[in-house]
Structure 1
């Protein structure tokens, strides 16, 4: 996103959290659209968020992060510990694609990412050869949680 001030040389944990309540009617309508496309509400919200990020940034290649519990294997369910992993949901936003078609693409991306959720985020960063810039998080700067 466009910055309103220079980025610090080294990333800090300072940030902001913006919470809001989506009206029940809008949630119901978005859920219905998602179901018609064989998708979940999370997938539809991912699609909408990626479209908004594309509009605000002017970029077509959007990488949005989300987090998973990291407890897919039954033997991890009762263990105490932090197993959370970040998934990268990368999508190409094309101008002339309908929302239904875009939602189908996002659905496929989300299912693929969740199928490989045990791949540690750091290994994904290494595998794609992402630059390690201390001023920003690698691969994603926005999370949908």
Structure 2
């Protein structure tokens, strides 16, 4: 991917003018019989075609950041399971991150940085260690507190 003509001053806010809502589920720690849980959500509307998965998310913005102009790949991503992520989407993410990091000169080894990003976000399951403080940061993610700005973290990666 050639980013030579990219101008950060011409970047656009994809979320401008939209209304973003959230569903929050709070579950007591003692309900779980394990020390770490992983979760992700799906959208499965019911219509004339029946119930089917049309969207999924755990880490925010993965599809938006890595598949914005490729509707077929974005649609495929939304209908697959997280267990397929590393094999199916890891190569593309590594390629895009390597190109961006190399163009910006933000890491000594762009390919290794891209590998680390891919391993951090795939499979796209948000993990949380029961009984600990939630934190969604660039260095580590342990669940996500409501007040944390997750989009900034994802764009920083």
Q: Give TM-score scaled by structure 1 length.
A: 0.32
Q: Give TM-score scaled by structure 2 length.
A: 0.30
